[in-house]
Structure 1
Amino acid sequence: MSHFSPPQTRAAATADACPDPCPDAVDALEKRLRDYLPSDQVRRVRRAYEVGARAHDGQTRKSGEPYITHPVAVATILAELRLDAETLCAAILHDALEDTALPRTEIEREFSPTVAELVDGVTKLDKLQFRDRQEAAAESFRKMMLAMARDLRVILIKLADRLHNMRTLDAMATESRRRIARETLEIYAPIAQRLGMNKIKAELQDLGFRALYPFRHEVIRRRIAAQPVMRREALATIEAQLAQRLAQEGLRHTLVSRVKSPWSIYTKMRQENKSLEQVLDVFGFRIVVPTVMQCYHALGAVHSLYKPLDARFRDFIAIPKANGYQSLHTVLFGPYGAPVEVQIRTEDMDLVAERGIAAHWVYKSAGSGGSAAQARAQDWVRNLMDSQQAAGSSLEFLENVKVDLFPDEVYLFTPKGDILALPRNATALDFAYAVHTDVGNHAVAARVDRKLVPLRAKLASGQSVEVITAPSAAPGPQWLEFVVSSKARTAIRHYLKRLEHEDAVDLGHRMLDRALENQDSSFDRIPAERMEALLADMRYRRLEDLLADIALGNRMPAQVARLMVHGQEEGPASSAAPSTERITISGGERGVLSFAQCCHPIPGDEIMGFLSAGKGVVVHRLDCPNVGEYRKFPERCVPMAWDRDVRGDYRVGLRIEVENKPGVLAQVAAAVAESNSNIDSVEYRERDVAISVMEFSIEVRNRKHLADVIRRIRRLGVVHGVQRM
């Protein structure tokens, strides 16, 4: 949102008397455009200004300036990147649909459908109602990313819009300044970095840092400005020696010293726990040469001048970053004991490093053409769109994108030699999902540099990774604990939701089958027309949705059965005896079955189910003290039994009385572990001089397994008694 103040009065404006509130800014913009655009396209941008100025007539910003000054400033930022006329027209009109009465049809007629699409892509969703500001911001962001998937120029306009708003943030209230600054640092600066637009990223970070932490920013800024004379002399000496060495090698070059920004210094201090003096005590230079081979020649030259620090060399020319950034990075041991950081790149790489996807902008309506950086950006956005389709909400999608905008990445090789970029701390499972969703879903292990590793193993740059799959393998909830990439997280959640739905449909089918049997009927005997009419009346698109709702306790199976058989909830009494068939638990229904915390049923116990709205079937032991209350609602009670081949681990509580001696807990825990049982938790409930009471929560397979655990614990000399809770 731009810094907008509504007009006190709306001045009437016509096409004949178009207001011209910022002629100097528009003249400067036109002058810049004439350097690279034909005159007819410059006139189109001028026409966009006239339409925009008329639409925004009477509106002012928080600073009191005419509102149109903001869109013109946004277009000027994009003109510095030498973007095309359509983008510039859309930039000037980017707030017109949201804040004025200008219709989209007029933009299409006056300019083109593409310009109207770009304007619409940047426009927020302020007219819709959301629960809170956070949800509204997340949904606006989601809409912008969808538009960006269709046309990358949407995000360029948005970044320029955010940059000008950050430059003029002082006019906003303190709370608004902090909120906008935080959003800029968390989302928009990382997006600019992800798209390789380092110049815009650096300014967004600096302005965001200043707005969020003004005192810290000022302290660091002053320290940078007040560098001691000795350091300046050292910087000049190193620069002269580097220039002399490159000249001796006959290398035509540009050499500039790099000054770190306050934000980069601040983040380095936090990440590496360094003092301000330690971070400032680093010299930085950039060398720009004409060709790639001369980059490596220059690298040899600087290494012959100063010794390189071991393990600090990075070749981003051979292995570019995911955003297209290419450069050689090396750290030298300088003559004054301080590290000397040197970046070496070609002129073309330098342009891409500064402008990213906006460098050498070529855009074709069919979507072909453009630079390699633009192609990489399109791939990134396409992956985000895949994840947003499976995301449950806009807030979840926004969190996924934040995860995907990690500033640090690891670069990994597939067995075929292709390079994949993943977020820092990525695991072998993240790599599997980066290859393909199906590979991730069936992964069981990986070979990293030919060594077998588990899926949770973290990866480092330069490693070669091969994923081992098995047709029977499938994602589990525990996978979410160690993946870091948004693609992996979204794919796992999507699979688990689908699995839960399938389990719910299966359980609902069994429950309704049993209820129909009690009505002396079955699925086969229900006419198709009645079934379709019933689904329409109950507002279900398909039978599976109704069955899932039955399993989740949102519909009573007996009521649905009566409606199917008799067309009403109260049908005539059935002559058939109630079905004695019980629904069996195999251990694979964890998505729709839950086990009561009050009695912790395990295989071998006599059990029943109670249908609870929204929770589905909750399984209780028949001797549970709550069962008597549940039997007052027979339509919600579900006869249940354990399958003969039930599998899985089930939680159970043990109350153990032990002697109050050191090392007793370790003895009991060892006995549980030797019985092949896992301990979930341990609590001391009572303690006196002689006896302690401990409550263990453990996992067992069945009653026989539980008996083995109890028997092994009772054999311990320090144990006075064990009982199941």
Structure 2
Amino acid sequence: MAKIDVEDLITLVRNYNPRTNEALIRQAYAYGEAMHEGQFRHSGEPYFTHPVAVAAILTEMRLDDATVITALLHDTIEDTKSTYTEIAEMFGAEVAELVDGVTKLTNLQLSSSQTEQAENFRKLFMAMSKDLRVILVKLADRLHNMRTIRSLRPEKQARKARETMDIFAPLAGRMGMQWMREELEDLAFRVLNPDARASIIRRFITLQRETGDVMHQITNDIRLELDKEGIEADVFGRAKKPYGIWRKMQEKDQGFSRLSDIYGFRVITRDEADCYRVLGAIHQRWRAVPGRFKDYISQPKSNGYRSIHTTVSGRDGKRVEVQIRTRQMHEVAESGVAAHWSYRDGVRAENPFAVDPAKWLASLTERFENAEDHDEFLEHVKLEMYSDQVFCFTPKGDVVKLPKGATPLDFAYAIHTRIGDSCVGAKVDNVRVPLWTRLKNGQSVEIMTAEGQRPQATWIDIVVTGRAKAAIRKSLREEDRERFIKLGRELARVAFEHIGKKATDKALKTAAKQLGLPDGEEVLARLGSAELRAQDVTETLYPDVISPTTDEIDPSRAVIGLSPEQSFTRAPCCQPVPGERIVGITYRGQGVIVHAIDCPTLSRYEDQPERWIDLHWHSGQHPAIHSVGLKLTIRNDAGVLGRICTLIGEQKANISNMVFLDRKPDFYRLLVEVDLRDVEHLHALMTALEAENDVAELERTRDAQQSTS
């Protein structure tokens, strides 16, 4: 692909913004080109062809100068000698902040392990909350990379395509940029399932050959009906993307021949009143298909999307999907949240339907703020981004918006937590239904409650909304509070004895004050539920006792073989400890990650020998700060867990975390993280635990899924 000339790029901007700062765009173009001089893409093209192409994509959305300039510079801080300060001096603080935001997003590994993925989603939303244009540049960047993905190695193509399908395409859809979502999905589909895509295209060509130009015929039929009613409107037909057809075939388990899954028609009217006139004309001429009508004009989506959707039985009984909207609604439907920044004739376009990005983000993040763990946060994000909505009604006629697949329990919690907690049954359209029933658009839902009813543990698997799951977990946590306090007291006793102290009520009360918790009982409850580490409590009260003694090796100098400016971290996948053979892998922006020599993750880097560093642990006394996971199966009996915790403490090992994996009448399976000095300390602890009659199984955990990618 030939590089877009600077004058051509300026022409693209000037088409919608005659008042553009041409000099600044020229300066950014020249600066970006100079910074990327000598760099090439995998295809062999000069690297700067990519930032220019990203900028051109953003001009299609009629975005402001700052966003276009950011596109030109978006890889400079990461890949060249350019700096934030230099960009701020040359192009202003606004552009520098945007470029810095895109750089930080680029460094997020969004498709990594679940815990990391949740934390990175959290960072993504933080970047969005600063300035949504960062995401617009990142989406345009991903779109161009997907358009040119063929030059990458097959395994990298597959990884990028999966990340695009799982994260970037749904994000574009959630932002209302349907055209981008469809293209991203289809480009990823081409990589992930080329045979299925080719099959769809072949059948589509065959259908056209058999039926003729159906799209043109139906477009004329609709125009004829509108002319009869004297309605001025534009009518467009379009074939759906192969992935869109494939997804509907999978969802509905139906054949390719259903026309509504292949073609879509849009009617663009002058005003809102005409939208409903068009709807009437179409329904008079053709029979509406039940359950396929949605009015997003009276009930807009949170990203500003407004339109009427209907499906009718058209020519020869074939189903035809029609969307009806005004010109301004159409602009928002195409650009989504980006419509807020779009320009026309040199001024910010005033579109009454363009959603305020700040309000949109507030509605999107409202449910995330109370997420108390990584999985819960990820659950919120994926539900909010990936699901379509259904609209149901209360008995009084109020509308409740829920994600697709929601149940009456989700409905109850959407009204009020108290209603959800006390729910004992539900009626849908006046018929009693099980609580796991999946709700559909337009249904009326009545919730039956009873005093004294409490949420059941099985409800977690029934509900789909983050709000309901969080409320149920909170209620269950309160019921388990007494048990958690008892376990927390034992954990605290062991941790305090480990440093020669006692976990008195006064000590716990002081720790609570330092940690911002209401009282010592809350400290114990959080220790027992693994929301707080015992080490955090002891370090809060006795930092001097916890600090390493003078004869211990400085943790930051524990590894030999690094250059003075290099820092290291232990790989979470294999958790190497002093005394084990190790090797370092260099990561851009993350320093050196230290792996055990037998870590399976190392096979990923066999073809990158330049990233390997020969390392070994410093000899001498290391502090007991090296976390190792142990998976235990222990007898479920009174006092057993306490004895195990005491045994670990006697071995001078600190329990930093404890997670119950399974609870059965006869045994517990749990994951215990202990802080150790070295491999000898680990062997001594495991030997002591294996000798304990109440320990049925014991193994050290190593998780390849937790690797740094």
Give the TM-score normalised by structure 1. 0.64
* Residue in structure 1 matched with residue 591 of structure 2 by the alignment: none
For 2:114 and 2:268, the matched residues in 1 are separated by: 44
For 1:121 and 1:261, the matched residues in 2 are separated by: 32
Offset from partner CA, 1:269-314 (integer Å, 9 cap, x none): 2112223334588654222221222122222222232233344333
Given residue 146 of structure 2, which amino acid in structure 1 is its aligned partner?
A: M
For 1:269 and 1:168, the matched residues in 2 are separated by: 28
Given residue 160 of structure 2, which amino acid in structure 1 is its aligned partner?
A: I
For 2:203 and 2:8, the matched residues in 1 are separated by: 36
Pairwise mapping of residues 319-718 of structure 1 onto structure 2 (< 5 A)?
A: 319-361=299-341, 372-375=353-356, 378-379=359-360, 382-384=363-365, 386-387=367-368, 390-393=371-374, 397-413=377-393, 419-435=399-415, 456-465=436-445, 475-493=455-473, 503-505=483-485, 508-509=488-489, 523=504, 547=524, 608-613=639-644, 651=665
Aligned residue among 229, 236, 257 for 1:277: 257
* Residue in structure 2 matched with residue 292 of structure 1 by the alignment: 272
Distance 1:219 1:25, change over 3 A: farther
For 2:512 and 2:143, the matched residues in 1 are separated by: 56
Distance 1:535 1:271, change over 3 A: closer
For 1:103 and 1:79, the matched residues in 2 are separated by: 26
* Residue in structure 1 matched with residue 152 of structure 2 by the alignment: 172
- 3-state SS of 2:317 partner: coil
Distance 1:612 1:453, change over 3 A: farther
Distance 1:398 1:167, change over 3 A: farther
- 3-state SS of 1:89 partner: helix
Offset from partner CA, 1:67-87 (integer Å, 9 cap, x none): 222122111111111111222
Contact 2:35 2:81 in 1 (8 A): yes
Which runs of 5 or more residues in structure 1 are unaligned? 1-20, 364-368, 569-595, 602-606, 618-629, 636-648, 654-725
* Residue in structure 2 matched with residue 48 of structure 1 by the alignment: 28
- 3-state SS of 1:611 partner: helix
- 3-state SS of 1:330 partner: strand
For 1:142 and 1:234, the matched residues in 2 are separated by: 47
Moved more, 221-230 or 199-208: 221-230
Which runs of 5 or more residues in structure 2 are unaligned? 344-349, 547-631, 653-662, 668-709
Aligned residue among 104, 123, 127 for 1:143: 123
For 2:326 and 2:103, the matched residues in 1 are separated by: 38
1:110 aligns with 2:141: no
Distance 1:515 1:373, change over 3 A: closer
Contact 1:325 1:349 in 2 (8 A): yes
1:94 aligns with 2:74: yes
Aligned residue among 10, 25, 31 for 2:5: 25
Distance 1:79 1:491, change over 3 A: farther
Distance 1:381 1:222, change over 3 A: farther
* Residue in structure 1 matched with residue 103 of structure 2 by the alignment: 123
Number of residue pairs matched?
553
- Quote the offset at 1:480 in angstroms: 1.4
For 1:59 and 1:292, the matched residues in 2 are separated by: 52
For 1:359 and 1:479, the matched residues in 2 are separated by: 40
Contact 1:56 1:68 in 2 (8 A): yes
Given residue 335 of structure 1, which amino acid in structure 2 is its aligned partner?
A: R
Offset from partner CA, 1:9-46 (integer Å, 9 cap, x none): xxxxxxxxxxxx94x43222211211333545333333
Contact 1:144 1:154 in 2 (8 A): no
Aligned residue among 228, 238, 243 for 1:258: 238
Distance 1:472 1:511, change over 3 A: farther
1:37 aligns with 2:17: yes
- 3-state SS of 1:412 partner: strand
- Quote the offset at 1:171 in angstroms: 0.9
Distance 1:69 1:202, change over 3 A: same
- Quote the offset at 1:222 in angstroms: 3.1
Given residue 25 of structure 1, which amino acid in structure 2 is its aligned partner?
A: D
* Residue in structure 2 matched with residue 195 of structure 1 by the alignment: 175
Distance 1:48 1:473, change over 3 A: farther
Contact 2:266 2:323 in 1 (8 A): yes
Contact 1:77 1:160 in 2 (8 A): yes
- Quote the offset at 1:608 in angstroms: 4.7
Contact 1:269 1:279 in 2 (8 A): no
Contact 1:149 1:378 in 2 (8 A): no
- 3-state SS of 2:323 partner: strand
- 3-state SS of 1:285 partner: strand
For 1:187 and 1:326, the matched residues in 2 are separated by: 24
- Quote the offset at 1:98 in angstroms: 1.9
1:181 aligns with 2:161: yes
Moved more, 482-491 or 492-501: 492-501
Offset from partner CA, 1:241-293 (integer Å, 9 cap, x none): 32222112111111122212111111122112223334588654222221222
* Residue in structure 2 matched with residue 158 of structure 1 by the alignment: 138
- 3-state SS of 2:266 partner: strand
Given residue 387 of structure 1, which amino acid in structure 2 is its aligned partner?
A: F
- Quote the offset at 1:464 in angstroms: 4.4
For 2:533 and 2:196, the matched residues in 1 are separated by: 59
Contact 1:390 1:494 in 2 (8 A): no
* Residue in structure 1 matched with residue 225 of structure 2 by the alignment: 245
Distance 1:335 1:459, change over 3 A: closer
Offset from partner CA, 1:342-361 (integer Å, 9 cap, x none): 22222222222221112253
Offset from partner CA, 1:550-598 (integer Å, 9 cap, x none): 8689999xxx9xx99xx99xxxxxxxxxxxxxxxxxxxxxxxxxxx998
- Quote the offset at 1:55 in angstroms: 2.6
- 3-state SS of 1:356 partner: helix
- Taking only the aligned residue pairs, the percentage that are identical comes to 40
For 1:598 and 1:522, the matched residues in 2 are separated by: 25
Offset from partner CA, 1:523-555 (integer Å, 9 cap, x none): 57x7x7x9969999x9x9995687469868999
For 2:261 and 2:529, the matched residues in 1 are separated by: 63
For 2:641 and 2:214, the matched residues in 1 are separated by: 79
- Quote the offset at 1:403 in angstroms: 2.8
Bigger RCO of structures 1 and 2 (CA < 8 A, at least 6 apart): 2
* Residue in structure 1 matched with residue 193 of structure 2 by the alignment: 213
- 3-state SS of 1:119 partner: helix
* Residue in structure 2 matched with residue 683 of structure 1 by the alignment: none
- Quote the offset at 1:49 in angstroms: 2.3
- Quote the offset at 1:482 in angstroms: 1.1
Given residue 374 of structure 1, which amino acid in structure 2 is its aligned partner?
A: V
For 1:383 and 1:102, the matched residues in 2 are separated by: 34
Give the TM-score normalised by structure 2. 0.66
For 2:141 and 2:239, the matched residues in 1 are separated by: 26
Distance 1:381 1:360, change over 3 A: closer
Given residue 31 of structure 2, which amino acid in structure 1 is its aligned partner?
A: V
Distance 1:330 1:224, change over 3 A: same
For 2:143 and 2:58, the matched residues in 1 are separated by: 11
- Quote the offset at 1:507 in angstroms: 5.3
